[in-house]
Homo-oligomer: A and B are copies of this chain.
């Protein structure tokens, strides 16, 4: 009986330990909504897929914003942990010769955490649909795909495509 209790205790300790590992693992990859990013520094704006019919998911205005730590990265070439870059992708509304940035399609976010995201160049990749702060999240496979099929090629600039110009 005592031996059974000992084994049961061991199993419970194991289960609790696994639960904690699991929580820690999830927390390590968790990427919160980048609150207030619209008042961060504007890196640049590009318009892609103009005139393409039908428009693809990525077509439209790309407004790129960076928090203070990311600005340090743009200015020094080394992005510290805590750097966040937001790609704010909006519909291009055209009227005659004027093209305005319309409703938000989604935002893509890059979070620098060299430990948590060591397998994707130190950057976590996340997505939020429209103005939602919870919907549209990427699976781990898609997060890894963002890196492997796209950002990995930019190793010389720490996997960041854009540059900041005054």
B49 pairs with A61, CB closer than 8 A: no
Provide the residues of chain B in CB contact with A44, threshold 8 Å: 101
B38 pairs with A97, CB closer than 8 A: no
In the assembled complex, the CB of A85 is this many whole angstroms from the nearest CB of chain B, namely 14
- Is A52 positioned at the interface, with any CB of B under 8 Å from its CB? yes
Known contacts A41-B39, A42-B63, A63-B42; A47 and B98 CB within 8 A of each other: yes
A46 pairs with B97, CB closer than 8 A: no
- Is A5 positioned at the interface, with any CB of B under 8 Å from its CB? no
A38 pairs with B166, CB closer than 8 A: yes
In residues 149-166 of chain A, which contact B (Cβ within 8 Å)? 164-166
- Is A45 positioned at the interface, with any CB of B under 8 Å from its CB? yes
In the assembled complex, the CB of A78 is this many whole angstroms from the nearest CB of chain B, namely 19
Known contacts A51-B97, A98-B48; A42 and B61 CB within 8 A of each other: no
Q: Mark A23-59, 1 if CB is under 8 A from B, else 0.
A: 0000000000000001101101111111110000001
A48 (CB) vs chain B CBs: closest residue: B98
- Is A100 positioned at the interface, with any CB of B under 8 Å from its CB? yes
Other than the known A38-B42, A38-B165, A49-B97, what 15 A-B pairs have Cβ atoms closer than 8 Å?
A39-B41, A41-B42, A42-B42, A42-B63, A45-B45, A45-B61, A45-B101, A46-B100, A46-B101, A47-B99, A48-B98, A48-B99, A49-B98, A50-B50, A50-B97
Mark A residues whose CB is within 8 Å of B: 38-39, 41-42, 44-52, 59, 61, 63, 65, 71, 97-101, 164-166
Name the 8 nearest CB pairs between A and B, nearest first.
A42-B42, A47-B99, A45-B45, A38-B166, A39-B41, A49-B97, A48-B98, A46-B100
